[in-house]
Structure formats: structure tokens, C-alpha cells
A and B are shown apart, each in its own frame.
Chain A
Amino acid sequence: MAPPSSRRSGFSKKAQYSLFTGYLLAGACALLGLGLLVLSLWQPAAFAPVRGLATDVVAPAGQVAATTRSGSQGVLASIAGYFGAGRQNAELRREVEIARIRLAEAEAVKAENRRLKSLLGLNEGITKPVAVARLVGSTATSGRRLAYISAGASDGVLPGMPVLSERGVIGRVLETGRSSARVLLLTDSESVLPVRRATDNVIAFAEGRGDGLLRIRLVNLGVNPLKVGDTMVTSGAGGYYRSGVAVAVIDTITPDGGIARLVAEPGATNYVAVEPIAQAAAIETLEAAERPAPAPSPSPSRKPVASSSASVPLETVD
């Protein structure tokens, strides 16, 4: 197919100029895009308010999609349940018996724990989630692994807060809008999380590999003590996560640690809880030490930062 003859400029000066202006505008837009790209690679948070505004608008549609998704998961699961129900029944019965024994053991440990804690004079802090939200979407085309949740600054969600499901860690909040937030998932290749083995104090870093698995890198190199099937939990170092939340299970052993699978896969999760930063005071001091100018506020209680997202002017590009 030849292009329509109306698009050929010929000898018409007007057509020639409009063609030239088109090229000029497109080239200028490309240059503008390059500038914005460099700016946002240099300052990743620069466009967070605009993105927050945009996600707030789309989040309701994501809610509908999430409802459909969880509904269809239930249907598939119940169809799959009809197959092999008898075998599963026997297996479950055996598992329940074992679980009862373990529960009794756990009760004993809990009692002992309580006794020891009362000896030490520690009080048990129960972390109450800041917000419970749905996962409404994710960046499915990009190489980054970010998800959107349906709670934002108006619910008290702040950047840095850990996001957990009932099974374990999902990720942490990266940017907030008014009623939605972006979450950096553990599988993102920029995500690093301090972990330890659940049974003892072998500490390591869990880094996203970008392909859905985590690379566990031991801090103390030497003989690799990890075994396949070990559960890694958050160590609480760094102060963002409370310690002892399940993260991943070791799948393969490597010389410097292992490759682990996620315990809590966001795709199989309907609701997530956003928890307050575990040691907000420690974080505050750390960040204050990094930037010397402002004095750290003594009580780093939750204060909404929504005003900053509203005051930045929305910039349009065309």
C-alpha cells in the first residue's frame, strides 16, 4: 500500500513546512523524553507525585480486576479439589495428627518463652497493621517488579513500610499516592532484604534476581551451612521489618549461599497488610546522619505526607 497522496508534500510550500514541523516536534519530544529519562534515573522519586495521582485514578479498576481474579482462583481450586479428594483426605488426616503433636510442643515452647521473657522483663509488642489492602495491579510489561495496592497516604501508608501477606513478606512501599501505593516486590532485582535462618542465627542478604527467585548471600563466608529446605526469615536488621517473618525457602545451594523460592507469592495473595516501620526511631537517626542539615524529630510518629504530593504541580508533556 502506498501512502495516501495527500501526505506527499510535492511542490506545496505549506505541505513541506507542516511535514518539517512534524519532524521537528517529534525530534524535540524525543529529546525531552531523553532529558526526563535521565532525570528520573538520577532522581527516581522525582515523578512520584504524578504517578501517585495516576494510580489513584486507576486503582478502582484494579479493585474490580482483583475481585474477579480471586473469584476465578476459587472456582479453579474447587474444580481441582474434586480430583484426588480421597487421597488428599488420608494425607490431611495424617498431617493433622502430626500438627497436633507439633502444636503441643509449640505450646510448651511458648510457655517457656513467656517465662523467660518475664524473667528478662521484656514486653511483647503486637504490631498492628497500618492498613489492609488489596493488590490491585503490577507492572507486567516492565523489567521492574512493582505492585500497586489499594491503600495510600490517606490510610497512613508511608514509603518504607513493609507489606506482608498472611504467609510472609511481599515487599515494601516505594511511593504513595492518596489512595494507592507502589510496592517494591522482593523479586525485583533492586530489592535487598536482611534475613536469617529460622532455626539459628545464620545471617544473609536476600536479593531479587529478576526471575522470581531470590539469591541468598551469606554474610559470613566459609563453610556454607545452608541446606535445601531451610526457611529464611527476616532478621530485623536495618529496622524496616520486624524480625521473624517468613521470606523464602532454600531451593538450591550455591558456594556463597543459595537460591531460594518465595514463601508468599503476591500473585496468589488477595489481601496484604501494611505494617509500620519496625524501628522507626532507628531509621530516623540513620537518615538524619546521612543528610546533616535538618535535625531529627524526636518522635517519628506517623504523619501524613500527602501535602507534598498535592503541592507539586502536575506537568504535562506534548
Chain B
Amino acid sequence: MERLDPRARSDMYGRRINRAPSPWRARSLPYVTIMLGSLLPTLLIADLMPLSPPFGLLMLLGWRMVRPGLLPLWAGAPLGAFDDLFSGQPFGSAILLWSLAMIAIEMIETRFPWRGFWQDWFTGSVIALVYWIVSLLVSGARLTPELLAVALPQALLSVLLYPIVARLVSGLDRFRLARARKID
């Protein structure tokens, strides 16, 4: 069989016989990638204006939309606490906002069970925009018109990045479920 077609006994996650996905990787990858998303912008030197979109939140939205049910409803709180340690926002803002985002997505999903990519993008964008303006409001900085003007590209970027993040997450999901463990 395999001489005729080498991929006969495998699917997108690899060979099927006597292989299983690694349980550690399957459970931890979403959390690890969201935390890396929170850490990534701190390595940039943004001295003049807020530059990068909130990658942590975008990864959270990506995992929640691409893989509904994988993250528990309360996952926004611990991940938000981690984000707060590095983001420069007052501690608690991401705990609150990420929890609210998770609840909002859950309720939208209950209301509109059949959803597609465009609706996911719309939901993700609305949440990212609300998060952007609320986090500016609670950041402790005075919200001057100048600050709002220079932060606008950030909002635009976080809307435009959703499709890329969704593709990234689906790629990571294939890696997550790849059959890496050999059962003897």
C-alpha cells in the first residue's frame, strides 16, 4: 500500500498507525503562543508612540475563533495577568478586558452558532477596537488628541492582522495535533 502511495496511511497530522499527538504539546501550545505574543512587543523600542498592535490579545482571539472550546471561558484572566506584567498597562486592565472579551465571544457564539471567517473577522475587529480605546483610557496616561492620533495605526493594524493571525493559529494548531508520539 505504502509503496503505491507513501501518504496512504497518513493524514494532515502525519502517519496514523501507532502514532499519537503529544499530550503536552496539545495542551500547552495555545497558552505558550499567547504568552509569547504578549512578550514580543516589549522587545521593540517604541520611544515616541505606541507602535505595535496587542499581539497577545490577537493570538487569544485567534485561538478562540479558530478552535472554539479549546480555551476555557476563564482563560482570559491568567493570560491577561501575564500580559499586564509586561504591557505597561496598570495591573488588572488585561485581566478585566480579556475576560470580558472571552465572555463576549461566548455569547456571540451562542447567539449566532453558524459563523464563518468574515463574521469571525468582524467580531475580532470589534473586540480589538474596543480593547484599543478602553486600554488607552485606563492606561493612566492623559488621553490627548495627539496620543489618539499617533495610536490610530495601532488600531488599524490590529484589525488588518486578524486574517494573518488566524492563518498562523491554524498552522500552529496543525503542529499542536501532529502525531509526534510513537505508541509501542
A143 B45 Cβ-Cβ under 8 A = no
Q: A54 in the interface, Cβ–Cβ < 8 Å?
A: yes
Contact indicator per residue, chain B 14-52, by CB within 8 Å of chain A (1) or not (0): 000000000000000000000000010111111111111
Is A3's CB under 8 angstroms from B68's CB?
A: yes
Asked if residues A267 and B92 are in contact (CB atoms below 8 Å), the reply is: no
Query: How many pairs of A and B residues are in contact by the CB < 8 Å rule?
Result: 215
Chain B 139-168, CB-CB to A under 8 Å as 1, else 0, gives 111111011011100100000000000000
Could you say which of B48, B50, B78 contacts A142, with CB atoms under 8 Å apart? B50
* Residues of chain B with a CB closer than 8 A to A135's CB: 45
A44 CB-CB contact with B under 8 Å: yes
**Complex CA distance for A47 and B95, rounded to whole angstroms:** 14
Known: A22-B73, A139-B87, A143-B147. A212 touches B47 (CB 8 A): yes
Q: What residues of chain B lie closer than 8 Å to A61, measured between beta carbons?
A: 39, 43
Is the beta-carbon distance between A210 and B141 smaller than 8 angstroms? yes
Knowing A50-B85, A138-B46 touch, does A25 contact B114 (C-beta < 8 A)? no
Check A142/B88 contact, CB under 8 A, given A7-B69, A190-B142: yes
Chain B: interface residue total (CB-CB under 8 A): 64
Known: A7-B69, A25-B74, A37-B90. Contact between A138 and B42, CB under 8 A? yes
Q: Which residues of B contact A1 (CB under 8 A)?
A: 114-116
CA distance A18 to B66 in the complex (A): 22
Inter-chain contacts of B138 with A (CB < 8 A): 37, 41
Number of interface residues of A (CB under 8 A): 65
Give every chain B residue within 8 A of A38 (Cβ-Cβ): 92
* Contact status A148-B42, CB under 8 Å: yes
| Contact A138 to B140, CB < 8 A, known contacts A7-B68, A35-B92, A40-B91 | no
Given contacts A33-B95, A58-B39, 8 further A-B contacts (CB under 8 A): A29-B77, A40-B90, A138-B45, A143-B50, A146-B88, A210-B146, A212-B48, A316-B81
Please list the residues of chain B having a beta carbon within 8 angstroms of any beta carbon in chain A: 39, 41-55, 68-69, 72-74, 76-78, 80-81, 85-97, 99-100, 102-103, 106, 109, 113-116, 135-136, 138-144, 146-147, 149-151, 154
